[in-house]
Amino acid sequence: MSRNNAIFTPVNLGSGAVTVAVKDCIDIAGMPTKGGSAALDDAPAAEANAAVVEALLAGGCRIVGKANMHELAYGVTGINAWTGSAINPHFPDRVPGGSSSGSAVAVAEGLVDFAIGTDTGGSIRTPAACCGVFGLKPTFGRVSRAGAWPRASSLDCIGPFARSMAQIEAAMRIIAPGYAPSADAPPRFAIVQAEGVDAAVQAAFDEAMAPFSANAQVSLAQLPDAYGANIAVIAAETYAAFGHLLAGGKVGADVAARLTAAANVDAQKLAQAEVVRARFTAEVDALLEQHELLVMPTMPCFPLALSEAGDAAAALRMTALVRPFNLSGHPALTVPVLAAEGLPIGIQVIGRHGADEAVCAFGRMLENTISVIMDPAGEDTNR
């Protein structure tokens, strides 16, 4: 029995053997989509299932919960004062990560076979890394967003969390039309050297990658600018979707502050962000012409301690290495690893547009070679 009461609202939809939790910014017919916000507590029931929910049901899944989340998907810690915050099962003094916190925790705690989240600025990869599970942000547009909130987004992707790569790929076969796992084959990959990664995280990453032979060490000069551009685009798109909720006074303080600031992202700032998007996408594409995959840490730091969750700058720093690939739309996977300090890091694998299968194939190789935090049965393998 879970000791964690803020993971999801129970649902009983479908009769399949495979159990799934779905983030509460995705419509399920007959249920309100509340987005973890008191401002949407009186939202009417959704009239139809989101496309991904229909795919899950058609794929023989049983949806058992609507997963908790950082309010309005506009935060990275997973802390939610209104719904309560899901507890990080294996690292309970650390944040679960957001915004797809409940999805990550439900998987880490073994309550479901896999979970569905959304990722606009790292909201699958960050909580997956924090909770020690696998998480995939598919190529932008690979999984239909019909029936997901916000309705319009140039960044957001729906994707799976799981305790094994086999389950990640099983989920993708259900939710991503045409997904067909690739055969194992040593890829040509480059390791991205990113500035600002904490020494302990870098050491754990280097140790985990030691069995593999990279073709090159590369850098992404536009990475910091892409991070900032992602924040600007998210701000504008989130304000367009939810800014009207501020007037009701029910939005939580942290999200209200971000939404209020988001109103200042004007057309000129958005235009500048689009220039960065084009430049960064071209830079990543150029590297991926030479190397099939790029590999780097998922986060530059360990998950924040709960006592640090109110530090907005520190929280945003957790997403420094994931946000840019929402801007560019490339598929990105995080693979869990336990550092010598007993804390989790993620190995992030980035691939060419549409090459989600190649990304996952390398994820399988990593899983089979390194000691990931969780085995497929949900047992600790490192402690």
Task: Choose the catalytic residue: 34, 37, 66, 99.
Answer: 99
Q: Would you call 23 a catalytic residue per the annotation?
A: yes
CA distances from 217 to 181, 287, 332 (A): 27, 11, 18
Question: What is the token pair recorded at 337?
Answer: 């690893």
Pairing of strands 189-192, 216-218: parallel
Question: What is the token pair recorded at 33?
Answer: 């989509």
Write out the H or E segment, with its range, that includes residue 24: none
Question: What is the token pair recorded at 237?
Answer: 């798109």
Task: Choose the catalytic residue: 37, 101, 123, 164.
Answer: 123
- State the chain's maximal CA–CA distance in angstroms: 55
Question: What is the token pair recorded at 113?
Answer: 């076979």
Picking from 29, 32, 8, the residue whose alpha carbon sits closest to that of residue 20 is 8
Q: Would you call 99 a catalytic residue per the annotation?
A: yes
Secondary structure E strands in 220-343:
293-297, 332-338
Task: Choose the catalytic residue: 23, 34, 66, 137.
Answer: 23
**What type of residue sits at position 346?**
G
67 beta partners = 8, 23
Q: Would you call 123 a catalytic residue per the annotation?
A: yes
Which residues, at least 6 apart from 268, have a Cβ–Cβ distance to it below 8 Å? none
What whole-number distance in Å separates Cα of residue 159 and Cα of residue 286? 25
Catalytic positions are: 23, 99, 123
